[in-house]
């Protein structure tokens, strides 16, 4: 009889809950192990200043749904009238979830790269003449430096404002997760961000040899996994949760010999 595969989700508790059905529909047993928690920044001063001067920007860049959610909530709190300014300016986005959240809020997304990764977004922005332009980049406190650095390298200014903090929550069912990983009870650990990798390794304290596959949402997270000494087994072509779930399902369909054990991460 075909063995049911177990997938570990390592996003925030809320995010894990939202994507759990995508994995369960493929017949996976899904475990939630939150490794990140989203909190307000320590200070809103820089963000509030940017909101007050929103009309001075040539565009706003979002690379996560969290940054969209937090930035718009802050606008509602301090200057609701500035929403009309956003509606009339270019908005750039990475990821279908990020773009979908913007559209839900009534925004028109000027540009979303087909590959859904930050590097391609930057290349798309750079296809125009941006020298002298000014962009706003709402982000988390661990936000990627790739986007602002590359934009600045072409003569534009980027104002980075922190709209949320990504912190490590108290571990949930830590001993159960450790035991399941040691005993081969978890087939795939999924990562959606570099910070989830860092926090996961800190919380779990992996032994030198352990058996499970690694699935990542996209190239940036893949690089973080490799830098941490993990081998990436599964990465979808599109950086979405739906595509990741489908890629994991395809992976197991291609490995139907049930005597094969997952590869060893050392």
Domain positions in the chain are 6-36+169-265, 40-166
pLDDT on residue 256: 60
* pLDDT of 189 higher than 90: yes
* pLDDT of 1 higher than 60: no
Whole-number percent of the chain with pLDDT over 90 = 61
- How many helices (H) and strands (E) the chain has is answered by 11, 11
Equal fold, 6-36+169-265 vs 40-166: yes
Q: 65: closest CA among 248, 217, 189?
A: 217
Q: What does DSSP say about strands 157-167 and 37-39: parallel, antiparallel, or unpaired?
A: antiparallel
pLDDT on residue 260: 47
Instruction: Supply the mean pLDDT for the chain.
Output: 87
* pLDDT of 212 higher than 90: no
Average pLDDT over every residue of 28-56? 96
pLDDT on residue 17: 95
pLDDT on residue 254: 86
Residue 48 Cα to chain centre, angstroms: 24
Are 147 and 181 a contacting pair, CB within 8 Å? Answer: no
Rounded distance between C-alpha atoms, residue 95 and residue 64, angstroms: 7
Are 44 and 19 a contacting pair, CB within 8 Å? Answer: no
Q: Please state at what angle helix 65-78 crosses helix 45-52, rounded to 10 degrees.
A: 70
Burial of 175 (0-12, 13-18, 19+ CB in 10 A): exposed
Rounded distance between C-alpha atoms, residue 213 and residue 187, angstroms: 6
pLDDT on residue 114: 55
Average pLDDT over every residue of 128-137? 88
**Helix/strand/coil (H/E/C) assignment for every residue in 24-44:** HCCCCEEEECCCCEEECCCCC
Strand 29-32's sheet: what is its strand order?
A: 29-32, 6-9, 188-191, 213-216
Average pLDDT over every residue of 120-142? 82
The CATH architecture that domain 40-166 belongs to is 3-Layer(aba) Sandwich (3.40)
**Banded model confidence at residue 266, pLDDT cuts 50, 70, 90:** very low
The pLDDT tens digits for 66-84 are: 999 999 999 999 999 999 9
Least confidently predicted of 1-10, 155-164, 180-189: 1-10
**Banded model confidence at residue 198, pLDDT cuts 50, 70, 90:** very high
**Banded model confidence at residue 145, pLDDT cuts 50, 70, 90:** confident
Least confidently predicted of 27-31, 122-126, 216-220: 122-126
Average pLDDT over every residue of 117-121? 63
CATH topology of domain 6-36+169-265: Rossmann fold (3.40.50)
* pLDDT of 56 higher than 90: yes
* pLDDT of 211 higher than 50: yes
Average pLDDT over every residue of 174-203? 92
């Amino acid at each position: 009889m075909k063995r049911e595969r177990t997938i570990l989700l390592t996003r925030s508790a809320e995010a894990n809950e939202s994507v759990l059905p995508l994995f369960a529909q493929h017949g996976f047993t899904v475990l939630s192990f939150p490794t990140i928690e989203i909190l307000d920044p320590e200070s809103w001063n820089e963000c509030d200043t940017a909101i007050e001067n929103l009309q001075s920007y040539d565009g706003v860049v979002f690379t996560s749904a969290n940054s969209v959610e937090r930035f718009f909530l802050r606008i509602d709190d301090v200057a609701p009238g500035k929403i009309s300014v956003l509606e009339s300016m270019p908005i750039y986005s990475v990821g279908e979830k990020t773009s979908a959240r913007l559209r839900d809020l009534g925004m028109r997304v000027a540009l979303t790269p087909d590959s859904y990764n930050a590097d391609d977004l930057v290349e798309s922005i750079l296809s125009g003449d941006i020298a002298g332009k000014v962009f706003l980049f709402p982000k988390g406190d661990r936000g990627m430096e790739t986007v602002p650095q590359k934009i600045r390298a072409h003569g534009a200014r980027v104002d980075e404002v922190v709209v949320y903090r990504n912190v490590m929550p108290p571990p949930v069912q830590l001993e159960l997760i450790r035991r399941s990983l040691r005993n081969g009870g978890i087939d795939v650990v999924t990562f959606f961000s570099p910070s989830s990798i860092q926090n996961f390794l800190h919380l779990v304290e992996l032994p030198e040899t352990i058996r499970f596959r690694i699935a990542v949402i996209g190239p940036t997270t893949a690089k973080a996994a490799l830098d941490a000494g993990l081998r990436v087994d599964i990465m979808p072509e599109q950086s979405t949760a739906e595509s990741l779930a489908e890629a994991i399902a395809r992976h197991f369909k291609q490995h139907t010999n049930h005597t094969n054990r997952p590869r060893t991460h050392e």
